[in-house]
Structure 1
Amino acid sequence: MHLGALFISHHVLTSGSVRETARRFQLSPSTVSTAIRHLETELAMKLTERASGELVTLLASGRVLEGLEPITAAIGELGHFTGHDAAAADAYEAWASRIPLKIVTMERFLEVADQGSINRAARRLRLGQPQLSLQLANLEKFLGGRLFERQAQGSVLTEEGRRAYQIFTAISQAWNDLKSSADERYRRTARSLRIGSIIPTGSESWVARCLGSLVSEWNARRSNNAISLVSMTADDLREALKSGRIDVAILDSVFGLESFRHRELLQTDMVVIAPPESTETNVADLVAGHAICMPSPRTGLGHAAMAFSYERAPNRRFRSQDITAADSLPVIVDLVANHGYVSFLGRVSAMPIADKVRIVDLDEHLPMSYHVAFNHRKAAADACAMIIAAAARLTSEPVAQTDRVRESAA
């Protein structure tokens, strides 16, 4: 990591703007963006993201900004050392944002100073002595003065060298403090098994119960891999699996699965969920008489339901205005149960909430299937098998309960 990139990143996190930083330092936006990406890579965390075309700094950036303060202060001292005084703000910032000096080079200088010998330091660093000598020569050229006096017993710091030692020690300590947290995150990430799922309808849904069963059984086995869970839309799950941000994905869509290892989780059919007090007996009347809320087309369920609802009421006035897409199934269920909306779900998802809504069959069978996709990790394949077993066990419960009700009624 270059000092210039750290200086740039500090300003981006302070100002919240890549373009403003680029204008201020007279750099290209791509150079500024590259600096912040390198810092994110080094620290193993997202610090910024794009939202509606604007850069947004995330909560983690506050801690990183605090950790960068000693480094930017030391860069100010380095500027005074080399004749780039911070009093001339424009010239100083132009210089500081372009410092080519790498932290690893500074740490090698510190090792030579601590060992008192280039040869001993080269052996400890596992570098060739000529390579290390060249790096020190380039560092002296950048700072504009000699850092060591070569003597018979080794290398001794000059007055300029002692001053550089203090500055570089402050930078190295601050950077190592930031990196130590990142190293721990790397270790946790390497051990963690990341499971992504479609958004559950609620705590009683088969998805939520399936994941709860997985976590309980997984931890009971005392696996070395901790589990972390996240819920997203089907589109986002596929992208996260492709990029490696998750290891396993539970999806309500078959689209795009050819790129991954995958297995069918369960089959069901689509139904309408309607307000408990509604009286319409067929789908056409329900769709014509109620506002609709459903998952967005970014989900497999939403894609199929949106097309189906339009086909059933093509001539209704304001049809495009009262179809609401919401990527929150608990909100959709509340709108149906308490606010007179209708929506579409897989039967397996509707059964656990049958006490809150009416379940109405479609006039034609519309099959749905859920899949689980996973990457190459053995732990991911193991979790996949456990998810399939849990889903089979949990989704058979409503059927068994229905049979018991029928037997008692007879």
Structure 2
Amino acid sequence: MHLGALFIAHQVLASGSVRQTARRFQLSPSTVSTAIHHIETELAMKLIERTSGELVTLIASGRVLEGLAPLTAAIGELGQLAGHDGADTDEAWVSRIPIKIVTIERFLEVADQGSINRAARRLRLGQPQLSLQLANLEKFLGARLFERQAQGSVLTEEGRRAYQIFTTVSQAWNDLKSQADERYQRTARSLRIGSIIPTGSESWVARCLAALVSEWNLDRNNNAISLVSMTADDLREALKSGRIDVAILDSVFGLESFRHRKLLQTEMVVIAPPDSTGTGVADLVAAHPICMPSPRTGLGHAAMAFSDERAPNRRLRSRDITAADSLPVIVDLVAHHGYVSFLGRVSAMPIADKVRIVDLDEHLPMSYHVAFNHRKAAADACAVIIEAAARITSEPVAQTDSARESAA
């Protein structure tokens, strides 16, 4: 991390504007954005985000801004040491300081050891490499920092000023980093589980996750469980970025690069209002509005494909379908507001007392999968989820219209 980037990041968090900071320091907006990205990466936290085109500073940015205050004050003193008095033109110079934190740490080690050779051995660096870094630091600041003597290296007057400034920088940065390290350790101990959005508390997804938490805690595992629900697209991205360790999805699409196992196999059905009278899909969609998950979900993608390819009725085409990535809302629309939708049979059965379940004219298979990363805890959780799914979906369930008719 460069001192200039830290100075830029401080100004962005203080002003709340990338473009204003870029104009102030005569930099490109991309350079300013890169500085923010680097400090977010180093501190393992998100500080800003864009909402409706506007930059929004997040709650965590306030604490980071306070932590950067002594650091940026020290950077200003460093500018004075280099002959800059803090005017606007000199602020632009400060924002471009290329000195890295690691170089500062090495300078402090040489000063503490009183010898480049001893410092190099402790840092496990070659002496020529360390000498070159110190020479470049002196060249940039325009001041000699060490007097090389027979018994070692002694700080000059400018070197003693630099030592005080760099000590403040190092302490402030290490304070910020230690907080990030604590957050990382807490995150590393947590097992993050993501799932498609359950239809409700009675759904097999919700019951699988509840069984996982219960069994996991009974076994007194060291990893705490953290749960989140989102769409299949978001789950794949979260798994790829490492934000979650395990994902329950309603599609195998995009899982080629992950370890994954099939959770269960089912088929798509129509869910209709309890008082509906249509006997087939065409009748139901002609008489009722449709609401289903968006194509960002595995279920929504399969339903859209069925609508476009198999049904000539205009109501089944995408432009006539209301998308809602919330299964509880969809179920309520069907149960109480006269809509129809599509679900996997295994998800529809637990809500058979709220909606009417109608088979499609042709078999349309759906499969659910669980994907996980390299962590052993993730594989262990995956095994518990698979066992819970098998147990829950083998329980007696309500009958569909066609099953009732066959029984009659």
C-alpha offsets along residues 285-338 of structure 1, whole Å, 9 cap, x if unaligned?
Answer: 32122222111001110012223345546335x976652111122222222233
Give the residue type in structure 2 aligned to 1:81: L
Give the residue type in structure 2 aligned to 1:315: R
2:120 paired residue among 119, 122, 138: 122
TM-superposed deviation, 1:53 = 5.7
| Counterparts of residues 195-210 of structure 1 (less than 5 Å) | 195-210=193-208
CA distance in 1 between counterparts of 2:21 and 2:37 reads: 15
TM-superposed deviation, 1:262 = 2.1
| Counterparts of residues 51-200 of structure 1 (less than 5 Å) | 55-86=55-86, 88-89=87-88, 91-150=89-148, 154-200=152-198
Structure 1 stretch displaced more, 343-352 or 54-63: 54-63
Paired position in structure 1 for 2:41? 41
Paired position in structure 1 for 2:288? 290
Q: Is the 8 A contact 2:199 2:327 kept in 1?
A: yes
CA distance in 2 between counterparts of 1:20 and 1:332 reads: 44
Give the residue type in structure 2 aligned to 1:8: I
Structure 1 stretch displaced more, 274-283 or 200-209: 274-283
CA distance in 1 between counterparts of 2:169 and 2:281 reads: 68
Closer/same/farther in 2, CA of residues 57 and 342 from structure 1, 3 Å limit: farther
- Would you say 1:225 and 2:223 are equivalent positions? yes
TM-superposed deviation, 1:8 = 1.9
Paired position in structure 2 for 1:365? 363
Give the residue type in structure 1 aligned to 2:233: D
Paired position in structure 1 for 2:393? 395
TM-score, with length taken from structure 1: 0.87
Q: RMSD across aligned C-alpha pairs, in angstroms?
A: 2.9
Give the residue type in structure 2 aligned to 1:71: L
Give the residue type in structure 2 aligned to 1:106: I
CA distance in 1 between counterparts of 2:103 and 2:255 reads: 46
How many residues align? The count is 401
Paired position in structure 2 for 1:8? 8
Q: Is the 8 A contact 1:254 1:369 kept in 2?
A: yes
CA distance in 2 between counterparts of 1:356 and 1:56 reads: 42
Closer/same/farther in 2, CA of residues 160 and 259 from structure 1, 3 Å limit: closer
| Counterparts of residues 370-385 of structure 1 (less than 5 Å) | 370-385=368-383
Closer/same/farther in 2, CA of residues 15 and 344 from structure 1, 3 Å limit: farther
Question: Any unmatched runs of 5+ in structure 2?
Answer: none
TM-superposed deviation, 1:150 = 4.4
Closer/same/farther in 2, CA of residues 319 and 373 from structure 1, 3 Å limit: closer
Closer/same/farther in 2, CA of residues 295 and 172 from structure 1, 3 Å limit: same
Q: Is the 8 A contact 2:273 2:338 kept in 1?
A: yes
Paired-residue identity, %: 87
Structure 1 stretch displaced more, 259-268 or 59-68: 59-68
| Counterparts of residues 277-316 of structure 1 (less than 5 Å) | 277-309=275-307, 312=311, 314-316=313-315
Q: Is the 8 A contact 2:307 2:318 kept in 1?
A: no
Paired position in structure 2 for 1:21? 21
1:342 paired residue among 340, 365, 376: 340
Give the residue type in structure 2 aligned to 1:253: S
Structure 1 stretch displaced more, 174-183 or 138-147: 138-147
CA distance in 2 between counterparts of 1:14 and 1:344 reads: 49
C-alpha offsets along residues 100-151 of structure 1, whole Å, 9 cap, x if unaligned?
Answer: 1111111222223333443433333233334333322322222222333445
Give the residue type in structure 1 aligned to 2:96: R
Helix, strand or coil: the match of 1:67? helix
CA distance in 1 between counterparts of 2:205 and 2:157 reads: 67
CA distance in 2 between counterparts of 1:364 and 1:116 reads: 83
Paired position in structure 2 for 1:32? 32
CA distance in 1 between counterparts of 2:27 and 2:21 reads: 8
Q: Is the 8 A contact 1:352 1:398 kept in 2?
A: no
Give the residue type in structure 2 aligned to 1:124: R
Closer/same/farther in 2, CA of residues 94 and 398 from structure 1, 3 Å limit: farther
2:236 paired residue among 238, 242, 260: 238
CA distance in 2 between counterparts of 1:202 and 1:24 reads: 52
TM-superposed deviation, 1:195 = 2.2
TM-superposed deviation, 1:351 = 1.9
Paired position in structure 2 for 1:255? 253
Structure 1 stretch displaced more, 100-109 or 25-34: 25-34
CA distance in 2 between counterparts of 1:53 and 1:198 reads: 29
CA distance in 2 between counterparts of 1:278 and 1:60 reads: 51
CA distance in 2 between counterparts of 1:64 and 1:398 reads: 55
CA distance in 1 between counterparts of 2:317 and 2:239 reads: 35
Give the residue type in structure 2 aligned to 1:235: D
C-alpha offsets along residues 76-123 of structure 1, whole Å, 9 cap, x if unaligned?
Answer: 22222222222x22x123211210111111122222333344343333
Q: Is the 8 A contact 2:307 2:317 kept in 1?
A: no
CA distance in 2 between counterparts of 1:42 and 1:344 reads: 45
Q: Is the 8 A contact 1:351 1:398 kept in 2?
A: no
CA distance in 2 between counterparts of 1:386 and 1:74 reads: 53
Helix, strand or coil: the match of 1:344? strand
TM-superposed deviation, 1:55 = 4.8
C-alpha offsets along residues 173-196 of structure 1, whole Å, 9 cap, x if unaligned?
Answer: 111111112222333344433322
C-alpha offsets along residues 245-267 of structure 1, whole Å, 9 cap, x if unaligned?
Answer: 33322111122233333221111
